[in-house]
Amino acid sequence: MDEILRLVRPAVLDLTPLDLARTEEYGARIRLDVNENPYPPYPGTPAQQELNRYPERQPRPLLDAFADFYGVPRECLLFTRDVDEAADLLVRSFCVEGRDAILQTRPTVAIYPHVARVQGVGVVEVPLLPSGFQLDPDGVLAMHAANPQTKLLFLCSPNDPTSNLLEREDILRIATELFGTAIIVVDHRFLDYSGAESLATAIPAHPNIVVLRSMSAEYGLAGERFGIAIAHPEVIDLLGRVLAFCPLSRNAIRALTQVMTLLGVLRSAVNIGKVLTERTRVARVLAGSSAVVRVFPSDANFLFVQVRDASGLVDMMTQSGVKIADGSTFPAAPDAVRISIGTPAENNAMLAVLDQYAEERKPRGFGGR
């Protein structure tokens, strides 16, 4: 597709596509082709005995499982080391050092400008609208018009730290108007906590949309660092040219295989439900605290909360062994914090510290009583 290919770095177009299917399906009994050590590092189970062998680059059974799970063709998927690597691959595939730029909203996750600046790529920003933290489509389009070398637009939905979904129609409008001039990257790492439809369903009509998914926050695999890029097959082919030789470890592949069984999917759904129940409870308790100004509506597994003194609250939490994130630098919500939803016991511990904090800051009457 010419509208996509003309956005790609020439050096990437010149790369020979690597075989993404370095696979175990070909029936080879003796492998003497990739300089592996023939001896396992230690005795163990059959799975442990395989640690001396490189894994598949893109395991076909997992590709098939995720294709069914997300309702997209297998050719539209690429496994990466979480969303961070997918963002890095996109910048390296599309942006020329010293010339091109990415666009992001403000505030949002820190990885987008990081991977851009590492590659010598510029960063332009458009603030979210103060009311509701929604996209400003006119502002985005105007910023792109003023910076036509902006190749990638990163949109996190639900957004971090504000926890809200971005309006689907706003994203589709931007994708339509910038077709042929920019790739719209929709980071859906928290989507399953929202119940909303993925923008992956829009890719056939909007091939300049790339959707990023993660199994970290939603499916409890943060320790395995697993992400998925969903895109037009030509985009997947380009990203595959830049992808590391074996992005997934054998341990990660085994963990993912378990998660994608029927029992694993059901267990994950139950766990997501537990988080949603706790999100509702914690938001209600927070809203009743004298230390809290506002609890913003959440579509994610965390809450964005405006408090009376963010740095003071964060300090007390830290001293009590509880970590929350300080978001007080955001002008539209000064003194904000981001609080992840944990287990009921973890949430209760956090709320107990909040109660202590609120009690210590209650105004006292004459004579200190």
Q: What is the pLDDT of residues 64-97, one digit of tens each?
A: 999 999 999 999 999 999 999 999 999 999 999 9
- Would you state the pLDDT for residue 23? 52
User: Does residue 331 or residue 289 have the better pLDDT?
Assistant: 289
**Predicted confidence (pLDDT) per residue in 115-147, tens digit:** 999 999 999 999 999 989 999 999 999 999 999
Matching residue, tokens 């177009």: 13
Residue 106, burial from CB neighbour count under 10 angstroms (0-12, 13-18, 19+): exposed
pTM over 0.85? The answer is: yes
- For residue 243, pLDDT over 70 is answered with yes
Domain boundaries, the chain: 1-19+57-260, 264-361
Give the dihedral of Cα atoms 87, 92, 95, 99; nearest 10 deg: 120
Alpha helices in 260-343 (DSSP H): 262-287, 310-319
CATH classification code of 1-19+57-260: 3.40.640.10
Q: Model confidence at 369, in pLDDT bands (50, 70, 90)?
A: very low
* 281: its two tokens: 């409870």
Q: What pLDDT is recorded for position 334?
A: 82
Q: What's the topology of domain 264-361?
A: Aspartate Aminotransferase, domain 1 (3.90.1150)
d(CA 304, CA 339): 7
Contact at 8 Å (CB) between 90 and 111? no
Q: What sign for the dihedral angle of Cα 278, 284, 288, 291?
A: positive
Average pLDDT over residues 144-167: 98
The residues, any chain, with a CB within 8 Å of residue 42's CB and separated by 6 or more, are 48
